[in-house]
Amino acid sequence: MRVIYNEQMADLANLLGEMAGLAGQAMERATQSLLQADLALAEQVIGEQDRISVMIAEAEERAFALLALQAPVAGDLRQVVSAIQIVGDVNRMGALALHVAKVTRRRHPAHALPESVNGYFAEMGRIAVSMGAAAKEVLETRDPERAAQLNQDDEAMDDLHRHLFTLLMDRDWQYGVAPAVDVTLLGRYYERFADHAVEIGRRVIFLVTGVLPTDEDLETS
């Protein structure tokens, strides 16, 4: 029974890692579609969301089956509960990439972004994609030190988001209300994508050590 349980947990961890990788890839394509006003890329992201949704449902089913059939306790229970919570984070990451693609589609053939903020979103997209790949790595390796490093990338994302907000509040903003709304929403999508990647890192640390780190713990690690 123990061997079977370990194999099932390993399979679930691999599935979660694959899903995180797909979320990162979706955000990469969504960012390209946003910067280039590429409708085909946006439609690709939107169309592939069904694949992620199927995997989400499969991961949830496997996790709940482990709870029901294996009746885990102590550290084993911690692993299963963490996995269920990670499913939710990965699901949100995929949904946020989908939101970015939908903004591109809604504004097409126009660009959703004023040219002056393209550089901000190119960098936010780069960080988000990197964090998606790191989340995948962390889920597969269960390396708590690498998991803690996700918080550093999130700080860079937060800095960009704050700076972007100052541009919107500047009296010299000349692009009108609709672009301001799009930039505000899009900035939030990238920020939240990074937040969920950090949360995955926290869950992995908890899974390995039994201690859920606070924000202060991650900042000093």
In this structure, what token pair is assigned to residue 88?
């939710």
38 assigned to some structural domain: yes
Q: Residue 217 falls within a domain, yes or no?
A: no
> Containing domain of residue 7, as a range?
2-211
Does 219 fall in a domain? no
| SS3 at position 201 | helix
Rounded to an integer, what distance in angstroms lies between the CA atom of residue 143 and that of residue 158? Answer: 24
Residue whose pair of structure tokens reads 């963490």 in the numeric block: 82
Higher local confidence (pLDDT), 185 or 216: 185
Instruction: Note whether residue 216 is domain-resident.
Output: no
172 vs 184 pLDDT, higher one: 184
Domain with 122 in it: what CATH number?
Answer: 1.20.58.220
- Report the domain count for the chain: 1
pLDDT band, very low/low/confident/very high, at 77 (cuts 50, 70, 90): confident
Alpha helices (H) in 71-143, listed in sequence order: 74-107, 118-141
In single-letter form, the type of residue at position 126 comes to R
- Asked if residue 176 is part of any domain, the answer here is yes
Helix or strand holding residue 177 (H, E): helix 177-209
With cut-offs at 50, 70 and 90, classify the pLDDT of residue 218: confident
pLDDT digits (tens, 9 = 90+) for 115-171: 999 999 999 999 999 999 999 999 999 999 999 999 988 999 999 999 998 888 888
The pLDDT assigned to 187 comes to 96
Go through the chain and tell me how many residues it has. 221
Q: Report the chain's mean pLDDT, rounded to a whole number.
A: 90
pTM: 0.92
Answer yes or no: is pLDDT of 60 > 80.
Answer: yes
In a domain? residue 109: yes
- Domain annotation covers residue 221: no
Q: Are 169 and 154 in contact (CB under 8 A)?
A: no
Quick check: is 123 in a domain? yes
